[in-house]
Amino acid sequence: MLQAINLECVRGRRRIFTGLSFEVQNGELFWVAGRNGSGKTSLLRIVCTLLRAESGEVRWKDTDIRALGDTFLADLLYIGHAPAVKDDLTALENLRFSLAQHGMVASKEELADALVRFGLAGREDLPARSLSQGQRRRVGLARLLFGASRQLWILDEPLTALDASAVDLVRRQIGIQLERHGIVVLTSHQEIDFGGLRVRHLQLDA
Amino acid sequence: MTAAGHARRGLAGVFAAVVRRDLLLAVRRRSDVLTTFFFFVVVVSLFPLGIGPEVDTLRTIAPGVVWAAALLASMLALARLFVGDYADGTLEQLALAPQPLLVLVLGKIVAHWLVTGVPLVLIAPLLGLQFDLPAAALQVMVLSLLLGTPVLSMIGAVGAALTLGVRGAGGLLALLVLPLYVPVLIFGAGAVSASALGMDVGGHLSVLAAIFLIALVFAPWATAAAIRIAVE
């Protein structure tokens, strides 16, 4: 269970939100919406420890995430705005290293299979610089296929620059994650149809 | 589900993965590495050409010239150490890895040293010949560079991490890092000078080794702290 208690976020001199509390149960999707600048990304970065809240705390399995440290990070899969894809590495190398630096090992077949499933068949060995914006995001998102051991997924605008088939792929992976009682936190401008999933909604600019 | 990702790497495996990735990137962007290397070669070679064949003068200035050029060359490469990772989101991912960030940072520093420091160590004796340094002094030069260049990478990493996201980071980085390089310069060049004069070099090298150990303890930790501030 993910819990936020009385979060306050200040960026520069602006108070972005204050007194924000919520609770997400296992098997639920937490959908954060709001206009630009309403603090969606800041909230996600607070929940994954990248950003420090001005006050309040985030609890994971009833313990403050700051106190949990690496134990919390071992449960976390975060995909941010920037896809963390290197131009000079191939799609396959990018996926392998992004997993490896989090201590995950996958065989070449598993990696290639993941890229194929994300619609990158035949492009596994091309340098990422020759891929389109959407394809680069697909390389980043292919990590979701290896996220079974991570109970908490935090995805910042995962659907940006994706076409309909890729949106569908991501939605399916989110469904699988919720089925195994994981939690997904995401932001999105787009209205997405998460029919059948347990969705909890947060409107930040309200 | 085919892909599971259940197999896990230990700390050493993750460290190795970071080193391997940065080395692979260096191979793909060879021009960056060669720039640093040739900068060092050219700067060191300018002095004998400018001063002329006055052997005594050359022999006196050689240690200082080689070491100062090594400092500048190492600094030239620093600007790129974290900037790419910072811009494309890799640094965030490193900060969120369930392994201690300072180990991953140390991996990046090691890769940086292998790519920018080691070539300098290897070519230095050849450049030293232009200054008519005796063989014993050339050996000491290699030894002092071997101890000193990792320190340059470590101190430089702290500066590179602190200046992430700052406008005009290049100039600031130089101002921040060069003064901190001074002890390495003094004892590194001092060791070579002492050897050329036929004196004992044990003292200089011991101090260099001590600086190396202190940097090894504090620099990765400080760099990791600076990175956490930068990604906030």
Asked if the C-beta of A145 comes within 8 angstroms of chain B's C-beta atoms, the answer is yes
Helices (H), strands (E): how many in chain B? 10, 0
3-state secondary structure (DSSP) of residue B3: coil
Distance CA B117, CA B105 (A): 17
Q: What angle (nearest 5°) sits at the alpha carbon of residue A120, between those of residues A188 and A180? A: 55
| Nearest alpha carbon to residue B28 among B18, B20, B39 | B20
pTM of the model: 0.92
pLDDT tens string B187-232: 999 999 999 988 999 999 999 999 999 999 999 999 999 999 999 8
- Option in B3, B24, B98 nearest A89 (CB): B24
Collect all residues with Cβ–Cβ distance below 8 Å to A178 and sequence separation of at least 6.
Answer: A27, A28, A29, A184, A197, A198
What is the ipTM score, two decimals?
0.91
Q: Examine the pLDDT at B4 and tell me if it is beyond 70.
A: no
Backbone angles phi and psi of A32, in degrees to 5: -95, 120
Average pLDDT over residues B58-85: 92
Our CA-based measurement puts residue A206 at a distance from the nearest CA of chain B, in whole angstroms, of 25
pLDDT reported for residue B7: 53
**How does residue B11 score in pLDDT terms, banded at 50, 70 and 90?**
confident
What is the CB-side half-sphere exposure of residue A13 using CA atoms within 13 A?
A: 0
Distance CA B77, CA B3 (A): 38
A64: left (phi over 0), alpha (psi -120 to 50) or beta: beta
Tell me the torsion sign for CA atoms B80, B86, B89, B95.
positive
Our CA-based measurement puts residue B9 at a distance from the nearest CA of chain A, in whole angstroms, of 5
| Nearest alpha carbon to residue B144 among B191, B110, B104, B212 | B191
Residue of A102, A115, A154 to mutate, interface with B, max B Cβ within 10 Å? A102
Our CA-based measurement puts residue A193 at a distance from the nearest CA of chain B, in whole angstroms, of 23
**CB pair distance less than 8 Å for B89 and A84:** yes
Asked if the C-beta of A80 comes within 8 angstroms of chain B's C-beta atoms, the answer is yes
| Nearest alpha carbon to residue A44 among A85, A1, A80 | A80
**Cβ neighbourhood burial of A185 (10 Å; 0-12, 13-18, 19+):** buried
**How does residue B153 score in pLDDT terms, banded at 50, 70 and 90?**
very high
pLDDT reported for residue B1: 38
Q: Give the chain A residue nearest B8 (alpha carbons).
A: A104
Asked if the C-beta of A160 comes within 8 angstroms of chain B's C-beta atoms, the answer is no
**Cβ neighbourhood burial of A54 (10 Å; 0-12, 13-18, 19+):** middle
**CB pair distance less than 8 Å for A84 and B92:** yes
Distance CA A24, CA A1 (A): 6
List of chain B residues whose C-beta atoms are within 8 Å of the C-beta of residue A97: 17, 20-21
Backbone angles phi and psi of A33, in degrees to 5: -120, 165
| Nearest alpha carbon to residue A82 among B87, B189, B33 | B87
pLDDT in tens, chain A (206 residues): 999 999 999 988 888 999 999 999 999 999 999 888 888 999 999 999 999 999 999 999 999 999 998 999 999 999 998 888 999 999 999 999 999 988 888 899 999 999 999 999 888 899 999 999 889 999 999 999 999 889 999 999 998 888 888 899 999 999 999 999 999 999 987 777 777 888 888 888 76
Helices (H), strands (E): how many in chain A? 7, 9
Residue pointed to by tokens 């050329």: B196
The overall longest dimension of chain B from CA atoms, in Å, is 74
List of chain A residues whose C-beta atoms are within 8 Å of the C-beta of residue B14: 100-103
